[in-house]
Structure 1
Amino acid sequence: MNKQAILASSFVLLLMAGCGAASDSGARTSTHAQAATITVTDFAGREVTVPYPPARIIALSNGDMDIVNALGGNLVGRPTSEAETELSHIEEVGTTHELDLEKITFLRPDIVLGNAVLNAKDASMIESIGSQMVLTEANSVSDIQAQTRLLGKILDQSAKAEELVQTIDAKILEMQNSKLASQPRVLMIYGAPGTYLAALPNSLSGDLLELAGGVNIASDYPELDSYPHYAQLNTERIVEADPQLILIMTHGQPEAVKDGFFKEMQVNAAWNGITAVKNGQVHVLPSDLFGTNPGTKVTKALDELHALLKDVN
């Protein structure tokens, strides 16, 4: 092969190598330009692909809001609430029961955190505005821990999430090591003006009561079809069980709920013979800890319950 042929062949090889390099570089740039994503399975069993990590987050429940805040996520929307909190400056967007789509659209969230039962119907609507809905729920302390791990994974904060989970485990162990002299009989009531239901063991509050060392007198009450974690109050059975402590939970208007409950009791004089009523052991629990999922503040909820139970002993 003459010199000119060798030079020509070398040039072709260099050109091909250059094209290949340019092609590889272009592929890397394209991949780099695409936003990173992660696919997770939410509490409704849905596989959801979301930005990793999401830059703008809306929470429709206090529990999700608290956990995202504890993990350092950027909240741009929060549940509407009567209570003032450290996050009150964040825009309110409604609740799991009734969300404000106009506000949510305006805030351009990457993800919206909703309830697995209440907001499954809203997922397609949220997707239509270019966001993704991730569904969670908390009917037990272990649910809150799983919720924390899921959000930690989404936010690229799994290590921090595990720290929060371990803090809850430590509080549970503390409860187990601080056994009460006896296990008080307790009636836990979820109340709204005119509506009062007994919390069952399969509810978050029922789980908290058991972990704190109390006995739920409504443990064998039949669950409601529409609210499977609660039961109708049965005055005859309540009087028979004679609770030593009656605890009332509410989302808001605690005094109105308590006054309404006392009026309900006055209608039936049998309530006056119950130990809890005679001893003044009827209390409205803090709404941020018991009227809703408290998120990482579940440790404070356990402390609150344990102190009330100890006072009865």
Structure 2
Amino acid sequence: MVTSLLKAAVGTAVALGCMAAQADPITVTDIAGRQVTVDAPVERVILGEGRQIYLIGALEPESPFAHVVGWRHDFSEADPDNYAAYAAKFPELKDIPTFGGFKDGTFDVEQAAALQPDVVLMNLEAKAATEDAAYDDKLAQLGIPIVYVDFREKPLEHTIPSMRLMGRLLGDEQRAEAFIDFAEAQLARVTDTIAAADPERPKVFIDRAGGYSEDCCMSFGPGNFGKYVELAGGDNIADGIIPNTFGTLNPEQIIAANPDQVVVTGGNWDAYVPGGDWVGVGPGADLQKARAKLEKLTHRTAMTGITAVETGDVHAIWHQFYNSPYYFVAVQRLAKWFHPSLFADLDPEATLRTLHERFLPVDYEPGYWVSLQDE
């Protein structure tokens, strides 16, 4: 039953709707394939994941939080360095109400309703949990539409349509297309070269969040970073073992595969595992410290005797490339590690710097990757 608070929220929503500036109903097809009618351009948005600000920031860099009335609290915990950069430039973000997640059942529908959103942007991976908890039905009772986007489950397939979808909702279509053109051109610098050269592919192990826990080893199947490896001219050793995007390899499988390259994804995870063995790469990272932690990970059982450790082809890269529209930068960096001669003229850091200068609200700071080969 809809509570009195929700009923009051409905009344307020109607009043606000009468006063809203020229917003017209449009019907969009979201990443879940659902047709959703939304009054656009939207003025009030709830972000079902805080890191959706990566996309909105590229669309509205001058005021990325202008339309955000609520968001999940993950951004400050999963990417505290970028959160700090955004907070320094846009301190108003600290006043935006935060809430728990849909997947863990801590989302508060009444709180969301009181914020009077025009739309709730949800990540595709939360769809099953959202429906199981009937959040979709409860929000529908209030006339609050959910639109699903995705830049994690299938980033290569879904990031661009998600960016285009959000551009349409916010009235930023031209900005969205400019970003898409840049992303596709930067990705093609790798994929066109790999297609033409058809180089021998090194065997690659992606160590997902290596050192985050004592267990070893999380990795990626054919999706996400697993797909990045393929595009960059590598052979993902987990493909065929891990059937879906995320999964785990045991040390024996890694040793038997004997990868030529190891890539650890890392970040600043003090909020989750204080003082952990994770490799702290990201904006402004202490790369000397990160390199030392990366070297420490090579002493795990799973790294015993493998070629990558013997040759020093062990690298770390920012974990959030798996969960942001910046995937093409990761593909460039992987390609340069896997095929240094083929990509001698490719500069992934220059690409990332240009991305910040042209599209993002915050200034570029180096620190997004490190390698045992770095001096």
* Structure 2 length-normalised TM: 0.62
- The alpha-carbon distance between structure 1 residues 176 and 103, as it changes in their structure 2 partners (threshold 3 A), is same
- Which blocks of at least 5 consecutive residues in structure 2 are unaligned? 1-17, 280-292, 343-375
Paired position in structure 1 for 2:207 = 189
- The alpha-carbon distance between structure 1 residues 221 and 155, as it changes in their structure 2 partners (threshold 3 A), is same
Q: Distance in 2 between matches of 1:267 and 1:301?
A: 25
Let me know the Cα RMSD of the aligned residues: 3.4
Is 1:247 the counterpart of 2:263? The answer is yes
Report the residue type matching 2:69 in the other structure.
V
Give per-residue Cα distances to partners, 1:142-163, cap 9 Å, x unaligned: 3111111211222233232222
User: Which deviates further from its counterpart, 60-69 or 176-185?
Assistant: 176-185
Question: SS where residue 186 of structure 1 aligns?
Answer: strand
Residue of structure 1 aligned with 2:186, choices 171, 175, 188: 171
Paired position in structure 2 for 1:140 = 155
Residue of structure 2 aligned with 1:217, choices 215, 237, 242: 237
Q: Distance in 2 between matches of 1:312 and 1:185?
A: 17
- The alpha-carbon distance between structure 1 residues 222 and 84, as it changes in their structure 2 partners (threshold 3 A), is closer
* Structure 1 length-normalised TM: 0.73
CA-CA distance at 1:79 after TM superposition? 3.7
Residue of structure 2 aligned with 1:113, choices 112, 121, 132: 121
For the 8 Å contact 1:114–1:134, the answer to whether it is kept is: yes
CA-CA distance at 1:108 after TM superposition? 2.7
- The alpha-carbon distance between structure 1 residues 281 and 129, as it changes in their structure 2 partners (threshold 3 A), is farther
For the 8 Å contact 2:26–2:38, the answer to whether it is kept is: yes
Q: Distance in 2 between matches of 1:251 and 1:94?
A: 22
Report the residue type matching 1:108 in the other structure.
Q
For the 8 Å contact 2:220–2:242, the answer to whether it is kept is: no
For the 8 Å contact 2:294–2:316, the answer to whether it is kept is: no
Question: SS where residue 41 of structure 2 aligns?
Answer: coil
- The alpha-carbon distance between structure 1 residues 213 and 158, as it changes in their structure 2 partners (threshold 3 A), is same
Q: Distance in 2 between matches of 1:96 and 1:185?
A: 37
CA-CA distance at 1:187 after TM superposition? 0.8
- The alpha-carbon distance between structure 1 residues 210 and 151, as it changes in their structure 2 partners (threshold 3 A), is same
Residue of structure 2 aligned with 1:75, choices 43, 46, 68: 68
- The alpha-carbon distance between structure 1 residues 47 and 184, as it changes in their structure 2 partners (threshold 3 A), is same
Question: SS where residue 288 of structure 1 aligns?
Answer: helix
Q: Distance in 1 between matches of 2:314 and 2:111?
A: 40
For the 8 Å contact 2:31–2:161, the answer to whether it is kept is: no
Question: SS where residue 307 of structure 1 aligns?
Answer: helix
Paired position in structure 2 for 1:4 = none
Paired position in structure 2 for 1:16 = none
Report the residue type matching 1:288 in the other structure.
Q
Paired position in structure 2 for 1:233 = 249
Q: Distance in 2 between matches of 1:199 and 1:66?
A: 22
Question: SS where residue 230 of structure 2 aligns?
Answer: helix
CA-CA distance at 1:252 after TM superposition? 5.1
- The alpha-carbon distance between structure 1 residues 199 and 125, as it changes in their structure 2 partners (threshold 3 A), is same
Is 1:104 the counterpart of 2:112? The answer is yes
Paired position in structure 1 for 2:99 = 93
Question: SS where residue 249 of structure 1 aligns?
Answer: strand
CA-CA distance at 1:267 after TM superposition? 6.5
Is 1:199 the counterpart of 2:220? The answer is yes
- Which blocks of at least 5 consecutive residues in structure 1 are unaligned? 1-29
Paired position in structure 1 for 2:305 = 273
Q: Distance in 2 between matches of 1:264 and 1:35?
A: 53
Q: Distance in 1 between matches of 2:167 and 2:227?
A: 23
Q: Distance in 2 between matches of 1:125 and 1:47?
A: 18
